[in-house]
Amino acid sequence: MPEIKVTPLGAGQDVGRSCILVSIGGKNIMLDCGMHMGFNDDRRFPDFSYITQQGRLTEFLDCVIISHFHLDHCGALPYMSEMVGYDGPIYMTHPTKAICPILLEDFRKITVDKKGETNFFTSQMIKDCMKKVVPLNLHQTVQVDDELEIKAYYAGHVLGAAMVQIKVGSESVVYTGDYNMTPDRHLGAAWIDKCRPDILISESTYATTIRDSKRCRERDFLKKVHETVERGGKVLIPVFALGRAQELCILLETFWERMNMKAPIYFSTGLTEKANHYYKLFITWTNQKIRKTFVQRNMFEFKHIKAFDRSYADNPGPMVVFATPGMLHAGQSLQIFKKWAGNEKNMIIMPGYCVQGTIGHKILNGQKKLEMENRQTLEVKLQVEYMSFSAHADAKGIMQLIRMAEPRNMLLVHGEAKKMEFLKDKIEQEFTINCFMPANGETTTVITNPSVPVDISLNLLKREMALGGPLPDPKKPRTMHGTLIMKDNSLRLVSPEQALKELGLNEHQLRFTCRVQYRKTEFTIFIVFSSSYLVKAWLVLKGYTIQHLPDGTVMVESIVIKVSSSAEEPNTKVLLLSWSYQDEDLGSFLSTLLKKGLPSGLSSM
Amino acid sequence: MDSECLVLLPRVCAVLADPRQSLPDDTSLEKLLDWFTGLTKEDHGLALLESCPCLVDYISTVCLDKTTDPSMLSFSLKLSGMLAASQHGFNLLQDRSILGVAYDSERWQVAGLWEDPSVRIGWIHGLSNMMRHTQAFHFLDQAGLTKPLLQLQTDPSLFVASAANHLLARLLTFHQPATTSHTTQGNGLTVPPNKEEVELDVTMETSPGSGCSITMEILKHLESSLESDSHTQVLQGLRLLALTLPELEAPLRGSVIRRVLGPLDGLVREGRRAAALMAVLLATYRSGPCDSRLVSLMASMLNSQNPSDAALCAAATLHPETCPPGLRQKVVAVLLRPLQMVTGVTLLDWPNDRHTDGQTDHRHTDGQTDHKHTDQQTDLRHTDGQTDHRHTDQQTDHRQTDEDHRQTDEDHRQTDEDHRQTDTDQDRQTECRSSLSLLLDHLNHKPSCVSLLCVSVSSAPYITDMDSSASVILAVVSLLRICNGHSPSPESKAAIGCSKASTNLIGCSKVQRCCLDSLASLSTCPGAVERMVEVFHVLVQNLQNPDSDPTVLQKNYQAMLRWLSVSAEPNSLTDLVTEDLLPVLKKRVCDVRWEVRDSTLEFLGQLCEALSCTVTPILLEALCDQESYVRASAISALARTLPLSDQQGEPGNRTQEQTLGQLLDILSQDSEGFPRRAVVQFFISWLKTHPSSSSSSSSSLCSVLSLGSTDLDWEVKVHTLELVELLMEETLPGHQESELGSAPPPYGGSGGTNLLTHTDLTHPYAVTPSQPSPLLTHTPSETHTPLTHTHPTHTTPTHTHPTTSVVCGLSRLVELGVVTALLNGLFDCDRPVALKACSLLLRLRDAVCPSRSLGKGAMTTDDTTVAKVTFDLRGQVWEREVTRKLQEKRGSDWVKESREVGCDRPNKNRDSDRTDGAGSEACDRSTGKSVCEGSARVCEVLWSLGLEERQSVLSQSSDHVQNSPLSLLEDILNAIDTSHTDKVIVDCY
């Protein structure tokens, strides 16, 4: 029986680096190739030695698909392609291909900041890796080879994020990557058609959460920023180069406009311009509202948000600054934080998760005294807020997607085990489908229905229609009768006559016969005849034509019923029944009826 | 362990042992374990156990609690194993009865924790950590842990199964019986069976508790695994064998081989799991004296009915140092046959080669083991080599004993052999036909055709010799032509029947990539030069094909460069380049795909360098490309052509000025970092070929330094500092020798030393020391810039007075904006930038500025003149910071000087002592400020910045404080303290 195997090397019962291996129809596909920012050594990358020895990834993998540009989904890609040596095709959407190098460069910088790190990719490697990428368009089926095809669907989450359908023959898998089922300020909601995949591999970050509406989170955010600015404080928002920073910028820009606010908003490292460029370039990937109003006013041309110069940090008065990196581990965001941390009027808003070993992690844990270099201590007096703006589907959204795609099996990744367990039960109850949640390194195997394509002759279809059958409909399976010809690696269903003609064969008849013997008594004779009449009556009722032959034989279709006397035993009557293979159903039914329909005590042979 | 950690650890242990607490970060426990691993490295945890008894309490608490969190239990198991690695730790844990409870797998199964793979992994890693002494080995034996471990070998988790296999391999090699002398034949193969092996088996069977029972149990399991119907079990058995055999020594090795030979033979006959099987056979062969039967099995694998399997096995066997000599020809035949069939190029002398193969193998086998059967016979019959061996021996004995009828027997035997030979020939022909037909089927099926050819072509460079290399190159070239849609040569008989294969290959980029990689490697093989023109033509053909995949084109360029580099006379290709290559390159520079444009520009730069030709107009056009990577590549290519354009006097000064202007525009305006980085690197190359003293150079360099040092991209800033470094070496040449080279950085910062060494190697304009320096003994090929390009006006006049030269040099650096650029770097928030700037400032200070420690009296007039050089710091971001530092420095200097001369000395006297000082000090007196009219003395600023201290801080990792063990412990405690507040959601980075 054909089967699909799914093995997470990362993101199995955790929210670390996503890297999922799928084997389908003899093809091996890697879904995402992420890194874990919590480690400084080889543990940050997936261990590819489990896939194949001696790093022969190109021979093993048919393709790699990247769902979106976040580092936990694409961060190990240059390592894999340029250092381990994968040389095959890599697929991602156009925006992901454009933005990926920026984030990889951003991360490379962080790595250079951390001394003593080895085994890390260079700028040239990032470029060479990107040159291997084949861009995907939404809803466009791409043939990886003769058998394997992939198709991307809109996923929301971040610009360019996509869900992918992978299909080999009649077997298919959908991988969601990270997705969002509710539209936000710049992106739309994820969508997929009713593709009925064998497995739907879904992220489950917010598996147990019914997220408060994004509007509420936005209101909170604006309120907090407003209050701080009003009291003359400064607001620092550490962000990664591209992604949620743009969403927050739109939010603040609109608010500033509406409230006629005067405090400056700055965006560090010159990324505003770059981000604008990509958001303009990929306007079709944003939400409907932005697309519609694009001609009148580009949402990404910010009137109030200006480029930040490091000298501005010392300026008096309120201001809002977006600065990189997002976890406060080095660079500009850390430098500004050090300057502003001592003033309780100021505020820092962390819009994303921070790994252990960063200042971001420490202040989110509530540490008020931070040890800095040279044994200096930094007192954290400013207000610390955590406000996750990452767009993931919540439990409701995941259920909604299942309803959309109607998968035969469900597999959860990118979530915490306990939360997954809860959602798994819910899915299995509501949809009565299997739901799996393999841990990293564990393989889930799903048996699929074998599907063998068969061509049907036109004559056979016409004959079926002539008999009153419905017109062929690909969505409504039905039974067809005919002769199956297996020739030249193909299967065809044709009428028996055509088959005989094509193959130059003579027809042979196969008949089944049955003999029922009764003792010759009046009562028996009565019974026999009444039985015959009963059978006849039943046949007439069912619309069969009964033919009476001159010798007393009765024929129905190919069935022959004859009553005769036994030469050896004169006291018995024999009922002979014969039918051809085509009328096997009817023949065996009549035989049973004649045998069992008679009162007990009558013997049958 | 420092005292602060020592204080915190008991609290952390208490928190971790509390089942109500949960850790928010999944990496904390692993990092904690890393820390403990580091601590226990030297003394196996003795000190750790003594100083932190809380660890044992913690392990005890966690392991006794059945409701503990799986990740915590896993951590505790790993930790306990680590502590039990020493006998002292082991005894301590045993005394507390911890190990028995912790490693009782049934207990965890009952508690429902065993289901979690992290617990199983922890269990294996714990045992693995522990296995450093015999007591641990006996513990494993007595506690009956081998059984669950063997079960874990086929665990559904890849990680668990792999870890279990590694531990099993370790157990097998842990308790090896003493090595005995091994009977080895002259050919390196051993003679089975071995008496010692049999004795060893008996000992292992009959010696319970000696450690042998574990070995025996594992071996029996291994045997049954290899005979199992379960695919996973067989595969894991093979993996274990491949892991173990290279580590085993005789007689255990022989015993293991003897046990598994039968099952392996069975697997070979089944013809499945080829790759894993071959890995075992090769591991065995490579790891030492080898049983001849294994070589027979390898030969059988190469004769596999499945051509793909055979090819994979052949490719694995190919390694020249470890391929059994008798198999080499077979391996080559298996690998090259598909290539020959598809291309029609004769690579093997077959179908006769089949016969030759047989003969060769036959001879080899004869020579090595006295076997009389050929490989083909072995393959066809699938018989055990040993049986055949005995059979042949019997024949030989018979021949030897029957002396009287020798002649008659000879005749009979001759007749028998003739008959046998005829049968064998017929068998061989039948087999050959069937094998050919199978191969043809594979080649006509697209996926198997592609995979077979990829293996074949990728192996080709490793099987060429003097005679065959030309044919192999021709075959690869032909295959590339087929991929481009050309049919194979019509006269070739071998390609008949492969027409479908040829169709399958049209436009197949996977095969093209393999071919191009292979072709690049083949460029260095003997006789390659003769095929140069054909290779070049097919490579140009690839470029002309508009449908060529970008990855194919990139590999095409790489191959082209390799072939150009081995060409004896690159100039002989000039016509080919100008007539065929350049026109198509011009097209490719305008390709719609940026990947192609970029690869083409990268290639153009390298081509110009290799063939000394310039293509400046094409490159200049590409500066306006919409893709930043392409713009950057165009700039880099321009930099590569710099020496050539100078040599050839083109494109003329005017164009050059325009180019410089265009590049400066890119540096100031381009929104992307890559082109800006390339611009600064261009100027680095430019400075190596042009004097900085010319007016155009000066203004351009000023602009680059000013723009580059305030750029938003950290790498632009680092490259700008590299440019600064070059300028410093050029402007202060004498001091590079005397000062820069002599004084190591005071804090041992590697940055400064490395930078200097690096620069000396790459910068050809550094002034040559009076004594020949070992640094300058490098060959011209080590640097991209020819040494012949020295500019006459650029050499430093040797008669110039050193101090005058220093003063002029420093003033010139100030003029160019070097000091400002360095200070921009020093106060940058990006650590690599700040570190580089700090190192350079230190070098500048040590090379130029008179030391304050010498004291005023020791300072010469010249020193004072140098100290007078000032620079403008108005409007700089760091103005306030520098001013503050200067004031602090002056304050402390004054105190110091006051102490030296006596505290009662009036201020007036101090001032009067300084009247011989610089104008700025006069200014100081009037204004009371460290900076006068926005300018400050360079040396004074450099001495005031505390550069050594800064360098030592910057040399450390940016996260060294947050990633310290103390910080980790604090984070764990804090996470628990704040667990009641809003939980931070782990979502994405």
Q: What are A46-64's pLDDT values in tens digits?
A: 999 888 766 689 989 999 9
Highest mean pLDDT among B174-183, B482-491, B773-782: B482-491
Cβ contacts of B985 on chain A, cutoff 8 Å: 205-206, 209, 353, 388
Query: Interface pTM (ipTM) of the complex?
Result: 0.81
Least confidently predicted of A127-141, A273-287, A526-540, B206-220: A526-540
How far A504 CA sits from the closest chain B CA (Å)? 28
Name the residue with higher pLDDT: B298 or B800. B298
Contact partners, residue B977, CB within 8 Å, separation at least 6: A365, A366
Question: What are the distances in angstroms from CA B898 to CA B208, B854, B901, B913, B925?
Answer: 86, 16, 5, 12, 17
Selection from B170, B125, B130, B128 nearest residue B45 by Cα: B130
Instruction: Output the pLDDT for position B384.
Output: 37
Distance CA B322, CA B281 (A): 11
Confidence class for position A468, pLDDT limits 50, 70, 90: confident
Instruction: Output the pLDDT for position A189.
Output: 93
Question: Which amino acid does the sequence have at B121?
Answer: I
Question: What are the distances in angstroms from CA B679 to CA A589, B627, B634, B636, B832?
Answer: 91, 15, 10, 8, 19
Instruction: Output the pLDDT for position B743.
Output: 36
DSSP letter string over B373-394? Answer: S-HHHHHHHT--HHHHHHHHHH
The mean pLDDT of B400-417, rounded to a whole number, is: 53
Instruction: Output the pLDDT for position A108.
Output: 87
The mean pLDDT of B581-585, rounded to a whole number, is: 92
Q: Is the pLDDT confidence value at B454 over 60? A: yes
Burial class (CB in 10 A: 0-12, 13-18, 19+), B13: buried
Q: What are B226-278's pLDDT values in tens digits?
A: 999 888 899 999 999 999 988 888 778 888 888 888 888 888 888 777 778 88
Rounded to the nearest integer, the mean pLDDT of chain B is 77
Nearest-by-Cβ selection for A356 from B28, B714, B832 = B28
Cβ contacts of B28 on chain A, cutoff 8 Å: 356
> What token pair was written down for A271?
């990324």
Instruction: Output the pLDDT for position B44.
Output: 65
Name the residue with higher pLDDT: B487 or B300. B300
Instruction: Output the pLDDT for position B417.
Output: 61
How far A277 CA sits from the closest chain B CA (Å)? 9
Instruction: Output the pLDDT for position B289.
Output: 65
Name the residue with higher pLDDT: A272 or A36. A36
- In our burial notation (b when 16+ CB lie closer than 10 A, e otherwise), range B616-629 reads bebbbebbebebbb
> What token pair was written down for B319?
């390694």
Highest mean pLDDT among A116-120, B629-633, B973-977: B629-633
Name the residue with higher pLDDT: B793 or B30. B30
Least confidently predicted of A200-209, B27-36, B386-395, B957-966: B386-395
Question: What are the distances in angstroms from CA B611 to CA A585, B565, B603, B606, B787?
Answer: 85, 9, 12, 9, 18
Least confidently predicted of A33-37, A232-236, A418-422, B959-963: B959-963
Q: What are A334-386's pLDDT values in tens digits?
A: 999 999 999 999 999 998 888 899 999 999 988 999 998 878 899 999 999 99
Instruction: Output the pLDDT for position B350.
Output: 47
Of chain B, the percentage scoring pLDDT greater than 90 comes to: 37
Instruction: Output the pLDDT for position A115.
Output: 67
Flag if A147 and B447 touch (Cβ within 8 Å). yes
Instruction: Output the pLDDT for position A300.
Output: 75
Confidence class for position B487, pLDDT limits 50, 70, 90: confident
Distance CA B809, CA B727 (A): 10
Least confidently predicted of B426-435, B547-556, B572-581, B711-720: B426-435
Question: What are the distances in angstroms from CA A49 to CA A71, A80, A86?
Answer: 21, 11, 12
How far B672 CA sits from the closest chain A CA (Å)? 7
Instruction: Output the pLDDT for position B187.
Output: 42
> What token pair was written down for B728?
């410093």
Nearest-by-Cβ selection for B953 from A88, A209, A374 = A374
Flag if B832 and A112 touch (Cβ within 8 Å). yes
Confidence class for position B294, pLDDT limits 50, 70, 90: confident
Least confidently predicted of A161-175, A398-412, A494-508, B187-201: B187-201
Q: What are B202-240's pLDDT values in tens digits?
A: 565 555 555 678 888 999 999 999 999 888 899 999 999
Highest mean pLDDT among A14-23, A203-212, A366-375, B320-329: A14-23
Flag if A358 and B674 touch (Cβ within 8 Å). no
Nearest-by-Cβ selection for A15 from B454, B978, B987 = B987
The mean pLDDT of B572-591, rounded to a whole number, is: 86
Confidence class for position B897, pLDDT limits 50, 70, 90: low
Chain A nearest-CA residue for B962: A357
Q: The tokens 């021949």 sit on which residue?
A: B399
Instruction: Output the pLDDT for position B68.
Output: 86
Q: Is the pLDDT confidence value at B8 over 90? A: yes
The mean pLDDT of A234-263, rounded to a whole number, is: 88
DSSP letter string over A368-425? Answer: -EEE-GGG-EEE--SEEEE-------BHHHHHHHHHHH--SEEEEESS-HHHHHHHHH
The mean pLDDT of A15-41, rounded to a whole number, is: 93
A138 DSSP assignment: B
Chain A nearest-CA residue for B984: A353
Count of A-B CB contacts under 8 Å: 196
Instruction: Output the pLDDT for position B735.
Output: 53
Instruction: Output the pLDDT for position B521.
Output: 93
Flag if B26 and A16 touch (Cβ within 8 Å). yes
Instruction: Output the pLDDT for position B92.
Output: 92
Distance CA B760, CA B716 (A): 22
- Say if residues B585 and B617 touch (Cβ distance below 8 Å): no
- Say if residues A353 and B952 touch (Cβ distance below 8 Å): no
Q: Is the pLDDT confidence value at B836 over 80? A: yes
The mean pLDDT of B712-731, rounded to a whole number, is: 93
Flag if A373 and B953 touch (Cβ within 8 Å). yes
Q: Is the pLDDT confidence value at A430 over 90? A: yes
The mean pLDDT of B832-844, rounded to a whole number, is: 95
The mean pLDDT of A166-184, rounded to a whole number, is: 93
Cβ contacts of A123 on chain B, cutoff 8 Å: 674, 677, 715
Chain A nearest-CA residue for B956: A115
Instruction: Output the pLDDT for position B641.
Output: 86
Mutation test of the interface with chain B: which of A365, A387, A392, choosing the one with the most B Cβ atoms within 10 A?
Answer: A365
Highest mean pLDDT among B62-76, B156-170, B570-584: B156-170
Flag if A113 and B831 touch (Cβ within 8 Å). yes
Confidence class for position A324, pLDDT limits 50, 70, 90: confident
Q: Is the pLDDT confidence value at B195 over 70? A: no
Q: Is the pLDDT confidence value at A524 over 90? A: no
Q: Is the pLDDT confidence value at B383 over 80? A: no
Of chain B, the percentage scoring pLDDT greater than 70 comes to: 69
> What token pair was written down for B810?
């420093």
Mutation test of the interface with chain B: which of A131, A322, A329, A371, choosing the one with the most B Cβ atoms within 10 A?
Answer: A131
Question: Active-site residue numbers of A?
Answer: 203
Q: What are B140-155's pLDDT values in tens digits?
A: 999 999 999 999 999 9
How far A307 CA sits from the closest chain B CA (Å)? 11
Name the residue with higher pLDDT: A434 or B307. A434
Q: Is the pLDDT confidence value at A82 over 90? A: yes
Cβ contacts of A147 on chain B, cutoff 8 Å: 447
